[in-house]
Copies of this chain bind each other. A is one copy, B any other.
Amino acid sequence: MNKDSLERRIEEAIDRSSAGGCPPRLAEALEYAVFPGGGRVRPLLTLACAEACGASDLSVAEGAATAIELIHCASLVHDDMPCFDDAQIRRGKPALFRAFGEPMALLVGDALITLAFEEVALTAIAGAERAAQLTRIVARGLGTAHGIIGGQAWELEDKIDLVRYHRAKTASLFEAACAAGAVAAGVDGEPWRQVGRLLGEAYQLADDLADATGDAASLGKPTGQDSNNNTPSAVKSLGLLTTVERLESRLAAAKRAIPDCQGRDGLAALIDSVGHRLCPPDLKQRIEQAAVAGAAA
């Protein structure tokens, strides 16, 4: 797996979208939305799953991985808009709507979704059947019932089911990332969803923790959003320590969930490295110390 090669593929997709007739400010805003990237965790997961499944040629998987990342970027741009989270900072710089205005933010999100599906269709060169399957996987990850859009829409309901909400809002695209990797390698994607779901849940728990503990630097966005915005949060429901324990158990379960495959070790190593970032070994200790200090004060 090669992060540079993934980055080039994402660049090529943005270049293709920005070429030949694209209004120049839109092109600039697309670039702004996608570069510099965050951890690119989801697309790297897609590639890792494809490799684990023994894909010899990674070009289909790279196309699918690029689509997953573009969908992720689209959801960030739309989610940050004033009518939604009104988030000012993203990946350490002003949110796109602040840099380019709301109309452009609306269009950039739509454009990235479109580009994602186009990217998947381009993988049809290597097999149209797979491309169609990948389209459905990406659409499900973004969609109304189990995907990001459904998750965001739960925020607009009076009654909310926290598990379902988090699964749709965050875990869905991780599920799609893993299933897409497997399908790109010509393997049934369904058993791979579980790995993605567990990782996505871990990611959401870590995000809630960082938001609650005020670790703005590691998030690259403002903290305290969940309590400010009245967004459901695991920390609010479970408390800090139980949230950390749940996060640890999800990471361990994700490794156990990897289906039998030839490249199991590489994927397990990726999960370890993601886990280390999401949940540093001393996190629990720091929380306990802070609680003791708080009680003594």
**A residues touching B (Cβ–Cβ < 8 Å)?**
17-27, 30, 74, 78, 81, 83-84, 101-107, 109-111, 113-115, 117-118, 120-122, 124, 127-129, 131-133, 135-136, 138-140, 142-147, 149-150, 152-157, 164, 168
Contact = CB atoms under 8 A, between A and B. Distances in A.
A2 B140 CA distance: 29
6 contacts: A17-B144, A25-B156, A83-B105, A104-B153, A110-B110, A118-B139
A157 B23 contact: yes
A116 B152 CA distance: 19
Given A109-B110, A114-B147, A118-B135, 12 more contacts: A17-B145, A19-B145, A21-B145, A23-B150, A26-B149, A104-B156, A106-B109, A107-B156, A110-B142, A113-B114, A120-B135, A131-B135
Contacts of A135: 117-118, 120-121, 124, 131, 135
Nearest to A132: B124
The 10 A-B pairs with the shortest beta carbon distances in the complex, nearest first, are: A124-B132, A83-B102, A128-B128, A121-B135, A26-B153, A118-B139, A21-B145, A23-B153, A128-B129, A117-B117
Copies in the complex: 2
Given A121-B136, A135-B135, A136-B121, A144 B22 contact: yes
Q: Which secondary structure dominates where chain A touches chain B?
A: helix
B149 A107 contact: yes
Q: Which of A101, A131, A132 has the largest count of B CB atoms less than 10 A from its CB?
A: A132
B106 A81 contact: yes
Contacts of A146: 20-21
Q: Which of A25, A114, A120, A152 has the largest count of B CB atoms less than 10 A from its CB?
A: A114
Q: Which of A30, A83, A115, A142 has the largest count of B CB atoms less than 10 A from its CB?
A: A83
Contacts of A78: 106-107, 110
A107 B127 CA distance: 32
A143 B111 contact: yes
A278 B52 CA distance: 57
A99 to B, nearest CB: 13
A197 to B, nearest CB: 14
A154 B106 CA distance: 14
A274 to B, nearest CB: 26
Contact of A121 (B111, B139, B147): B139
Given A131-B128, A132-B128, A142 B168 contact: no
